[in-house]
Amino acid sequence: LTGSTSAQSITFSATSSFAITGYRCKLNAAAYAVCTSPWSTGALSAGVNTITVEATDSNGKTGTATTTI
């Protein structure tokens, strides 16, 4: 997204043998925040941006996924 500050909306899901109880998202080096799918990143800085989503299941296990745009 060189030279752009467009917001992006991402859609995500997770699977587990236990129910997914929540998600947390973060953009680049920002702190995690509770989020839902779809999630809007807000304005992005020019260049490469990294989005990380963390899912937690009812057994307390977490998993993360990261994508770079």
Model confidence over 5-58: pLDDT tens digits?
566 777 777 777 888 899 999 999 999 999 988 888 877 777 888 989 899 999
- Cα separation of 12 and 38, whole Å? 7
The strand pairing partners of 33, in sequence order, are: 25
Compare 62 and 45 and report the one with higher pLDDT: 62
Return the pLDDT at 68. Answer: 86
Residue 33, pLDDT score = 94
Measure Cα distances from 22 to 7, 12, 13, 45 in Å.
Answer: 23, 12, 10, 27
Closest to 21 measured CA to CA, from 54, 60, 58: 58
The structure tokens listed for 43 are 């304005």
- Checking if the pLDDT of 60 tops 90, the result is yes
